Structure 1
Amino acid sequence: MSSVQEVLAVLADAGFEPLPKPLTVVGTEFDFEAAVSGTKTSHDLVLIATDQMPRKRLQRLVAGLARSLDLAASRRPVSLVLIGGVAATDRVELERHARLLPILSAAPSIAEIEQAVSVLLPLKLPNADRPNESNPIDEVMTALGSQDATSDHRALIEAASGGPDAVREALRRYLNEGTGWTDKAGADR
């Protein structure tokens, strides 16, 4: 599988759809090695090019595409995945028209591709409903080194989910109980 196909596979797994080649915008054809468009949460137009394409030609293609998209009143952000690295002078010109996502290696691994295009990929969040994960309060107690916590300790930590005011109120009640004060006596002081 070529590096362009591997990039396409990573983007397809993230919900991007391949576009026909050559890419046609407002009647003008743009011959990138590949292009995909985002669906669902991403609306990006992602162009894929390798270091085999002459840089001046690539710059003209990207600039021309940007102008064509402006004419079409497109609001799609354009990203360019460039496989094989890019010189600093070329980078400046390309970044004028597209978000540049360089992959330094000409034969990148899947991890390198995923890292380069990570801004286009959906976030992978841990599942909060995992049954085998421990209770967050127990984790806090472990971190504090208080595994034999009393119900008072637990009440103060549980109050944290209600914010600083809830913690102050829980602490006030705890101190009042310990000193034998009532709310009325605490208010007089």
Structure 2
Amino acid sequence: MTETTPVERVASALKDASFRRMPTPLEIAGVTFDAAAAFVGTPPSPDLVLVGDTTLQTSRDLQRIVEGVGRALDVMRSRRPLTLVLVGPRPDSKAITSLSRYARVLPVGESADAASLSNWLAVLLPLQLPRPLEARGIDNLQALRTAVDPIAREFIDLALADPQSIAQRFADIVEEPFSQDDASDKGLEI
């Protein structure tokens, strides 16, 4: 399926984040709700995500849907958080405030940029952590020799030449400021 509409772009981003698309109209506790799209998170993300399209639905329609879904979840004693993703022109702040009483509201607009969309949906998407720099073995220590800090370079050189002396050099560096103060105190006459 081609991702031509903003709703389908949101749907694609949520599917990639392991959200399961629910059939629409959405049915909860025997009541149907006409959302543009609905998704339920897979563990560990328990969210129920509704997608509302402000080009096709008025603020009043969205309010009715979100309030109804919130109440239906309460009746079912569901502990799922409710999130409303709004695509299309952004409603006024009063409408967003009203919707926020029942759901977390993410107004993504009509953005075609995938990076912008994933930024807006970041609270729903898995956290992407940077890969840590691994310093295992002598080969990686060689690569770290370009360190800017002279003390860091000294410790890397010690690790390559004499790993046993690192603890003693560390203790010496920690004691240096105190031993200099002692030497200067001895030179003073009172």
**Of the candidates 71, 74, 94, which is equivalent to residue 70 of structure 1?**
74
Q: Paired residue for 1:91?
A: 96
SS of corresponding position for 2:147: helix
What is the Cα deviation at residue 128 of structure 1?
A: 3.9
**5+ unaligned residues in a row in structure 1: which ranges?**
160-166, 180-189
1:148–1:38 distance in 2 versus 1, CA, 3 Å: closer
* Partner amino acid, structure 2, of 1:44: D
- Structure 1 counterpart of 2:52, one-letter code: A
Task: List per-residue Cα deviations over 1:100-155 (Å, max 9, x = no partner).
Answer: 11113x24321221111101110112334879x955x937x714145752529x97
Aligned ranges 1:174-189 → 2 under 5 Å: 175=175
Is the counterpart of residue 138 in structure 1 residue 144 in structure 2?
yes
* CA-atom RMSD in angstroms: 3.5
* Alignment of structure 1 residues 31-180 onto 2, 5 Å: 31-52=34-55, 53-84=57-88, 85-104=90-109, 106-128=110-132, 135=141, 138=144, 142-145=147-150, 148-149=153-154, 150-151=157-158, 170-171=170-171, 175=175
Normalised TM-score (structure 2): 0.73
Percent identical residues: 32
Distance 1:31 1:138 in 2: 58
Are the counterparts in 1 of residues 87 and 107 from structure 2 also a CA contact under 8 Å?
yes
Classify 1:14/1:172 alpha carbon distance in 2 versus 1 (closer, same or farther; 3 Å).
same
Check conservation: 2:28, 2:69, Cα contact below 8 A.
Answer: yes
1:29-82 CA deviation, whole Å, 9 max, x = no partner? 000000000002201001101112111111011011101100000000011100
Q: Is the 8 A contact 2:147 2:153 kept in 1?
A: no
In the other structure, the counterpart of 1:20 is 23
Matches of 2:85 and 2:61 in 1, distance apart?
15
Separation of aligned partners in 2, 1:122 and 1:172? 45
Question: Which ranges of 4 or more aligned residues in structure 1 deviate by more than 3 Å?
Answer: 127-131, 145-148, 172-176
Contact 2:134 2:140 in 1 (8 A): no
Question: How many aligned positions are there?
Answer: 164
TM-score of the two chains, using structure 1 as the length reference: 0.73
Unaligned runs of at least 5 residues, structure 2: 180-190
Instruction: Return the letter of the residue paired with 1:171.
Output: A
